Amino acid sequence: MSLYLGIETSCDDTSCAVYSPEKGIVAYRTASQLDHAKYGGVVPEIASRTHMKTLLPLFETVMEDAGLELSGLAGIGVTNGPGLTGSLLVGLSFAKALSFGSGLPLAGIHHIEGHILANAIDGPMETPAVVLVVSGGHTQLFEVERPGRYNLLGGTHDDAAGEAFDKIGKILGLPYPGGPSIEKAAREGDAAAFDFPRAMRTSGECDFSFSGLKTAVRLKVEELEGDSRGLPGGTVADVAASAQEAIVDILAIKSVMAVERTGAARFYIAGGVAANGRLRDVMSERVGAAGAKVSWPPIRYCTDNAAMIACAACHHISAGRTDGLELNTFPRGELISWA
Ligand code: KG4
Ligand code: ZN
């Protein structure tokens, strides 16, 4: 049995996992950094310093959980971008040291490929497929020919969908991160209460824009508040439900377009926003009606995690694609096909 270690430290989650193609995830732990909530967003220096403290003990615990020594592994995968440079450097330096000390092959993994291949953890992905990657930093539609071959169909011109959730959450005074808070608030609200814009609806392309929605919500909240401070709970719920509906609606419109354009019979959702129940329901219904079977990873593999990185490492290393110790981090950059 071949076992692969995955390390993920691109933002504010420290995560290690061991994956094998035969057994799936053998051991997996994530330490989420809670200190950022009081600042209303991720503070890069706190994130990298916390990774420094957390990564070594977390790695040791995961290896203990798996009952493994380094010599029992077949390779190491680590996210080397995109992400926060300080955070990425902690994971990459650690992975390089492990690889140097043990002689194990090393593979740098693009964070977005990790999110896509979260759909391959519990069994092979059915391809060709369309994958919608929706996270705090990314909103992109890919045609996946097979793991390792990706065609970008379109992406966002400004904010990512998760970023829109987070910024709207902040406007509404809801706890950070905004995504789960808005989903919770929206359950008590009327999604038809306010008609927020669906930008790029008629662009004819698989592209997105969410910055106008955030502004429309801010203006609506200012109008509803008038001279008072804050909104009544019922109105917060209505704004949350209407904003969530606008985000989900435009994601569905463009996803249906991508499926019709490619003729793909399979559609996967990936990234932190895939945790949203309303998104999953609407996608199942509308993309399903367009002829593609829709699925998403278990929630624990939707938000940032090393299980997806370990699974991606297995794909790279078993195909012979590895990196040397000169491997560096990159803060931004498109996903490039390698297979
Ligand atoms: O993939 P992820 O953990 O990190 C990035 O790579 O960005 O995604 C985090 C994003 C945040 O913007 C968060 O608000 C959003 O995923 N998110 C959600 C939900 N859970 C997390 N958005 C909407 N509904 C949710 N239930
Ligand atoms: Zn992510």
Mean pLDDT of 311-339: 97
Of 38-42, 69-73, 207-211, the least confident:
38-42
What is the model's pLDDT at position 36? 78
pLDDT, tens digit, 9 for 90 and up, residues 3-39: 999 999 999 899 999 999 999 999 999 998 887 777 8
Mean pLDDT of 277-287: 98
pLDDT band at 183 (very low <50, low <70, confident <90, very high): very high
pLDDT band at 42 (very low <50, low <70, confident <90, very high): confident
What is the model's pLDDT at position 73? 98
Mean pLDDT of the residues in the chain: 96
Ligand 1 pocket, residue 244 CB under 6 Å: no
Q: Which atom of ligand 1 is nearest to the CA of 165?
A: 14
Ligand 1 pocket, residue 162 CB under 6 Å: yes
What is the model's pLDDT at position 101? 97
Q: What proportion of the chain, given as a percentage, has pLDDT over 90?
A: 92
Q: Which residue has the tokens 């079977």?
A: 293
Q: Mutate which of 30, 135, 335 to test ligand 1's pocket (most atoms within 8 Å of Cβ)?
A: 135
Ligand 1 pocket, residue 303 CB under 6 Å: yes
What is the model's pLDDT at position 210? 97
- Residues 171, 235, 219, 166: is their CA dihedral positive or negative? positive
What is the model's pLDDT at position 30? 96
What is the model's pLDDT at position 38? 79
What is the model's pLDDT at position 230? 82
Q: Half-sphere exposure of residue 267, counting CA atoms within 13 Å on the CB side?
A: 30
Ligand 1 pocket, residue 183 CB under 6 Å: yes
Mean pLDDT of 296-305: 95
Ligand 2 center–CA 266 separation, angstroms: 22
Ligand 1 pocket, residue 135 CB under 6 Å: yes
Neighbours of 329 (CB within 10 A): 22
This prediction has a pTM of 0.96
What is the model's pLDDT at position 213? 97
Q: Which atom of ligand 1 is nearest to the CA of 136?
A: 7
Mean pLDDT of 219-234: 89
Helix, strand or coil, per DSSP, at residue 186: helix
Secondary structure (H, E, C), the chain:
CCCEEEEECCCCEEEEEEEECCCEEEEEEEEECCHHHHHCCCCHHHHHHHHHHHHHHHHHHHHHHHCCCHHHCCEEEEEEECCCHHHHHHHHHHHHHHHHHHCCCEEEEEHHHHHHHHHHCCCCCCCCEEEEEECCCCEEEEEEEECCEEEEEEEECCCCHHHHHHHHHHHCCCCCCHHHHHHHHHCCCCCCCCCCCCCCCCCCCCCECCHHHHHHHHHHHHHHHCCCCCCCHHHHHHHHHHHHHHHHHHHHHHHHHHHHHHCCCEEEEECHHHHCHHHHHHHHHHHHHCCCEEECCCHHHCCCCCHHHHHHHHHHHHCCCCECCCCCCCCCCCCCCCC
What is the model's pLDDT at position 336? 97
Q: What are the residues whose beta carbons fall under 8 Å from the beta carbon of 257, sequence distance 6 or more?
A: 206
pLDDT above 80: residue 40: no
Ligand 1 pocket, residue 178 CB under 6 Å: yes
Q: Which atom of ligand 1 is nearest to the CA of 178?
A: 14
What is the model's pLDDT at position 244? 98
pLDDT above 90: residue 228: no
Nearest ligand, CA 273: 1
pLDDT, tens digit, 9 for 90 and up, residues 184-203: 999 999 999 999 999 999 89
Q: Which residue type is seen at 302? A: C
Ligand 1 pocket, residue 275 CB under 6 Å: yes
What is the model's pLDDT at position 231? 87
Ligand 1 pocket, residue 81 CB under 6 Å: no
